[in-house]
Structure 1
Amino acid sequence: MTAEKESRKNLTITTLSLSLLTVMAGAAVAPALNTISAYFGDAGQTLTQMVISIPALFIVIMSIVFPKLCDRFKSKGLLMTGLLLYVTGGSLAGIFDNIYIVLAFRALVGIGVGIIMPLSTGLLSFYYSKDKQDKLMGYSSAMNQMGGVIATLVAGLLASVSWRLSFLVYLIGLLSVVLCLLFLPNDRIGTESGKKETMVFARYYPFIIAMFLLMFTFFVYPAEFAIETAREGVIPQHFIAVIMAGMDLIAFLGGLSFVHIKKIAGSATKIVAPTMFALGYASLWLLGGWVGTITGSALVGFANGLGIPFIISTASHKAGRSAAVTVMPILSMALYLAQFMTPLMLSAITKAVGETAVRHLPYLTAFISAVLLLLWSLLIRTSAPSRKRGHWDFHGNDEA
C-alpha cells in the first residue's frame, strides 16, 4: 500500500469515527434517566428530562454560528475543540449533585456535537470525489446507528452500578481525539470560490424540510415505543430494550445497504425510506403483538438508516466541497430540532385529540408524517451525477 493510500485510509477511519459519537448527544444516558430522576426528585420531572433534551437545543444553536467559526478557524482546531467539549462535558456531568450544573455540562455536549456533526459528513464532501461519497455517506449513517447500539448497551451496564457512571460512555470520544491528532489535515474549509454562500435555506429547503420530517417520523419510535408496547401488554418488559437494540442494528444495515439500493432503485431511492416508514408504523399501529411490533421495528429502523444518507448525500452533491459550511449545518439543525420538538409535538397532539381517542395515537401520527415525507420527497428530483459534471439540483439537472 502506497503512502498516499495509507494516508487516505487513515483519513477515512478518522472521519467515520466521528459518526459514532453524534447520535449519543442525548441518548447515551437515556438508560439511566429513571435513576437520575429519582436522585434529583426535588428538581421536578421537566428539569431531569432536560438531561436528555438540552444537548439537542444547543446543537441547533451551534448550527447557526458554525459557518462563522469556519471563517475564522481551520478544521482540525475546530474539531478538536468540539471533541474536547464532548468528552469533558459528557463524562464529568455525573460528578455533580446540582441539577443546574449537570445541565450546564450537558449543554457543553450539545455545543461539541454542534461542531462535530456538520464536520463528520461535510469532510467527506471536502476530501472525497462524488463517486465515493455515496458509499461513505452510507457508512457514516451505519456508524451513527452502531454508535447508538454501543452507547445504549454500555450506558445501561454502567447505569446498573450507578447513574453517575453512565456518563463515562462519552469517553469513547477520546478515540476520535487521538485519530484526529494523528491523521486529520488542518485545512480551511469553505466554499470553493472563497465566497460566502447566501440564501442557504432557499437553495436547500427541500432537503432541510425532508430531514425534519424524516427525523420527526423516526423519533416517534424511541420517544414512544417503550410506553406503547408496555401499554399493549403483549410483550414482556425485558424484551422491549432488546427489540429497540435490534432496531438500531437494522438501521446499521440500512446505512450499509444505501449505495447498493441506490444502484438498483436509481431516482426511486427517494421514496424507499418514506414507504418503509409508512409500512412500519402501519404494522405497529394496526397489527401490534409480536408480529406487528417486530416487523414494524425492523422497517422503521431500516428506513432511518437508509433515509438519512440519501438526504445528506444528495444535498452534499449539490453543495460540493462547501457542504460542510453551507448545507450540513442547517441539515444538522433540522435533524436535532426535530428530536427536540418531537416529544413536545406529540404531547400537544395527545392533548388535542385525547389519549384514549385513537389506539396507538403516536404510531398513527408517525404514519401520517411518513406519508407527508413521501409526498415531499417527490419534489426532490435527482439525476445521477456525470463524470464530467457534478452537482445535483432539485430539478434533475447537472450543475457545472
Structure 2
Amino acid sequence: MKRDYYEVLGVARTASEDELKKAYRRSAMKHHPDRNPGDAAAEAAFKECKEAYEVLSDGGKRRMYDQYGHAAFEHGMGGGNAGPGGFGGPDMGDIFGDIFGNIFGGGGGGRGGPRRGADIGYVLELDLREAVNGVEKRIEVPTLAGCDGCNGSGSEDGRIETCSTCNGRGQVRMQRGIFTMQQGCPHCGGRGQSIVNPCRTCHGAGRVEEEKVLSVKIPAGVDNGDRIRLSGEGEAGPAGSPPGDLYVEVRVRPHEIFQRDGDDLHCEVPIRISQAALGDVVRVPTLDGEAEIRIPAETQTGKVFRLRDQGVKSVRSRHPGDLYCKVVIETPVNLTAEQRTLLEQFEATFSGDGARRHSPKSSTFVDGVRSFWDRMTSP
C-alpha cells in the first residue's frame, strides 16, 4: 500500500509550496542514487519522494489528491496523460464525470470526439553553470507525429463514412449491473467516422513514429525537478485531433566544487595550518570568477564564511542567494627535511602546562577523558 504523499515528504497537509520544495530537496539529496550507489532501499525512497513531490507541487493534482487520495491516479483512464509518476495528469472529468453523470441520467458526462494526443516527458541534463545562467539546447524527442501522407486524417483518399457502431456519436453506452457507463467508441476511436481506405503510410492511424528535433530555451536559475512546458509539442492526436504537450524536466549534474541548496551555494576551501593560525587573505572561486575572504588568526577548521549575493538567482527569486565557504585545515604532506625539523621544533614549544592555552579544545577533551576514567575506576 502506498504511503501518504505528505507523510513521504514529512510535511503537514497545509504545507506551502516553499515547505514542499525544501522537504523534497532534503529527501532527494539524502536518497539520491548517486550518493547511495547500489542501495535499492535508497533508490526506492528517492522514487517515492519524487512521485510525491510531482503530485503535491502541481496545484491541480494536489487538489485531486486531497479529495480522492491515491485513487485519483490509479484508474488508468486519463487518455494519453500519465499518472503521478509521469508528466501529465489523469482527466478526472473522464474518470468520475462519465460514470456518475450517467448514473443519474445525465447524457453529457463524457466529451465527444477523439482525445488529444498524449503528453510526453523528456529529462534534460545540465551543468550547474548552464542551470544558473540559462542556456538554449537542441533535443531529440521520439514521438508520434502527424502522418504527412494523409495530413493526419488516416485516409488514403479522403473517403470517410459514419461509424456504424456509434452512429456518428463517437461514444457508446455500456451496462454494468445497475450502472450505465459512457465511453469512447472502440471502433472509430471516438471520431464518429470510419475510414474507408486507410492510409498506406500510417495504416489509418493518422500518426507515425518520428524523432522530433527541438530547440529549448532554459531560463536562468532552474534547479533539479523544474519542468518546462512546450505546448503542442507532445504526441500528435489521432485523426488530426490536437497534439499533447512536451514537458522538459531539468536534472542538474553534480559540480566538482559547488553544492547547491535552493538559492545558496556551498563549497569547501582548504587552507594550511599556518594560514589558519596566523590569518591570511584567501581567494575562492565563485560562479562569476573569484572573490576574497579574510581568514582571521586562530581560525579553526570547519568555520564558515558567507559571501552575500554570490549564490544563485533562481527563476522564482528576485535576489540571488549566498555562497558559504567552509574552511578545512589541510595537513601538509611530502615534507622536506627542513620542514620536518621546523615542525618538530614547533611541537616542542607545546610541552608543559602552558600548552593548554594554545589548544583549548584539545585540553577540554583530555580533561573529559580523565574524568570519564576516574568515574569508571572509582569504587
Normalized per residue, the structure richer in strand is: 2
Same fold (TM over 0.5): no
The alignment's TM-score, normalised by the length of structure 1, stands at 0.23
TM-score (normalised: structure 2): 0.24
Q: Bigger relative contact order, structure 1 or 2, given CA contacts below 8 A and separation 6+? A: 1
Bigger Rg, which one: 2
